[in-house]
Structure 1
Amino acid sequence: MSLFIDTLGHGDDLVLIHGWGIHGAVWQRVAEQLAQDYCVHIVDLPGCGNSAMVEPYTLDALAAVLDRCFPLPVHVLGWSLGGAVGLQWALTQPDKLRSLTLCASSPRFMQAEDWPHATPADTLAAFARSLSQDYAATLEVFLGLQVMGSRDGRAVLRSLQASLASRPAPQVAALMAGLEILTATDLRSAVSQIACPMLLQYGERDRMTPPEAGQWLASASHAELVMHGGAGHAPFISHEADFIAAQKSFLQRV
């Protein structure tokens, strides 16, 4: 299948991968500014926005779809679930990623006895139960969770709501399969195998992907870590200028 990809700018190729519950439009403001120096490709993952659904819907399948869409090496920036897709892509096709930036992402999204830096299992289970009952309300609750703790939570929530409304909302099948990925994924043992340069951009007040996840990743992979003070799960919105400055600085050095 082919994905819906919105491309803007000129220069080295940079692929932006969104997170669960939304689509590529969430990157629009960031993409417009990065496009001053790069050829930016905003992807709608399968079943989200203007991209058709794909079966099977697994982390490996999502990485494979992206890999087929981009035959030449690219820089990748992935947010939350999109970061896990980027990690999988880097692991399966190490020659295809020139660099990888993870924004508020994690090698494991669900808490475990040896991994408290994540979302509680009952929270993910509650999303799965409520999706079939009230789809719209579930997405709204999820958007609210993303801004919890953020210093500019209301403004970030309005931005997320506007982005979601600008394209077709994710399909229920994609959301359910995405939750299964969030529940099952555990790439901790593979992180040290990432060969390309890595940047980690995290929010100091993120309740969904706590800053400790970023700190662990920095230690496990020798990646560069940028912690945005006062930011929640979407630092590229709440701390847009600082986020873009850090991203450009990193890309200029790799």
Structure 2
Amino acid sequence: MHWPDTDMAGIHIETTGNGPDLVMLHGWAMHSGVWDSVVEPLSRRFRLHRVDLPGHGASRDCVLESLEQMTAVIADRLPGSYSVCGWSLGGQVAIRLALQAPERVQRLVLVASTPCFVKQADWPWGMEATTLTLFMENLMRDYTQTLNRFLTLQISGSEDQTRVLARLRESVLCDRPPDATTLQIGLKILQTSDLRAELNRIGQPVLLIHGQNDVITPAGAAEWMQQHLPQAHLRLFPHCGHAPFLSFPERFVSCFDAL
């Protein structure tokens, strides 16, 4: 069964399947349709709630300017108790959900995510700050070319780059693309969010799924999280970039056997 729903605040959620509640959060510039390749097998085991993040997809009219605001608005729409799967930026929202309401979040699945997107003196597993700044500047000059550049980074190191890039382009550029302002807000969140000091407060079981060749959130970030989260298990995908659920959908779904 399939129930699309958009609330008064403009947050769009599509609910499918039956079983324990599993919330799915996409990454920057995407929307919930990016999960299409894994929805059918997962919905046989879970009641999936695919969220369009504020400003993205069918939640375009809900634009928020901080990770905390985004998390609070989404939390109001979620079941009383659930597990949450977040990809990239969606992983940071998932971490915030677990920190803000630990009694509601049963477990976390963090896909190609990181507590800190930007490289720092004590954090080598991030992007150069200048790269994100250039993305912000170029969005206003050439929206499509800037997004294409970001998509190319996402598939770097993947085994089947042509297929994965085509799927990402379809998800971003051909269906409900967010506007440049929304994307700049998202980049600002990526530039400024640093959740490292709070990770040890997450007591829930955490499954980390990461591509070994990810150039946006390097695998070292996942290995660091495995060491600093009290209950974490890492599944590292060889020959894989930033979108493991697109590169290896069957392997990705099999990781949920442990949930």
- Is the TM value for this pair above 0.5? yes
Q: Could you list the per-position Cα deviations for residues 162-213 of structure 1 after superposition, in whole angstroms to 9, with x for gaps in the alignment?
A: 2224531012221111101100010001001012111000000001111100
Matches of 2:64 and 2:169 in 1, distance apart? 29
**CA spacing shift, 1:212–1:172, aligned 2, 3 Å:** same
TM-score, structure 1 normalization: 0.95
Residue 235 (1) aligns with residue 229 (2):
no
Residue 138 (1) aligns with residue 112 (2):
no
TM-score, structure 2 normalization: 0.94
Residue 124 (1) aligns with residue 136 (2):
no
Residue 175 (1) aligns with residue 183 (2):
yes
Partner of 2:21: 13
Partner of 1:95: 103
After TM superposition, the structure 1 stretch with the greater mean CA deviation from structure 2, 1-10 or 187-196, is 1-10
Any idea what SS the aligned residue of 2:141 has? coil
Residue 106 (1) aligns with residue 114 (2):
yes
Matches of 2:39 and 2:12 in 1, distance apart? 15
Matches of 1:166 and 1:14 in 2, distance apart? 27
Matches of 1:55 and 1:163 in 2, distance apart? 20
Any idea what SS the aligned residue of 1:78 has? strand
Tell me if the contact between 1:67 and 1:89 (Cα under 8 Å) persists in the aligned partners.
yes
Q: Percent identity?
A: 39
After TM superposition, the structure 1 stretch with the greater mean CA deviation from structure 2, 184-193 or 134-143, is 134-143
Matches of 1:66 and 1:235 in 2, distance apart? 24
Matches of 2:72 and 2:181 in 1, distance apart? 19
Tell me by how many angstroms 1:215 deviates.
Answer: 0.2
Any idea what SS the aligned residue of 1:144 has? helix
Tell me by how many angstroms 1:70 deviates.
Answer: 1.0
2:227 to 201, 219, 232: 219
After TM superposition, the structure 1 stretch with the greater mean CA deviation from structure 2, 66-75 or 121-130, is 66-75
Aligned residues: 250
Partner of 2:208: 200
Q: Could you list the per-position Cα deviations for residues 89-139 of structure 1 after superposition, in whole angstroms to 9, with x for gaps in the alignment?
A: 111111111111100000000000110101111110110000111111111
| Residues 28-39 of structure 1 mapped to structure 2, 5 A cutoff | 28-39=36-47
**CA spacing shift, 1:17–1:203, aligned 2, 3 Å:** same
After TM superposition, the structure 1 stretch with the greater mean CA deviation from structure 2, 49-58 or 94-103, is 49-58
After TM superposition, the structure 1 stretch with the greater mean CA deviation from structure 2, 207-216 or 47-56, is 47-56
Segments of structure 1 that go 5 or more residues without pairing to the other structure are: none
1:57 to 65, 76, 88: 65
Matches of 1:189 and 1:231 in 2, distance apart? 28
Tell me if the contact between 1:50 and 1:167 (Cα under 8 Å) persists in the aligned partners.
no
Partner of 2:54: 46
Tell me by how many angstroms 1:62 deviates.
Answer: 1.0
Any idea what SS the aligned residue of 1:50 has? helix
Any idea what SS the aligned residue of 2:234 has? strand
Partner of 1:188: 196
**CA spacing shift, 1:164–1:55, aligned 2, 3 Å:** closer
Root-mean-square deviation (Å): 1.2
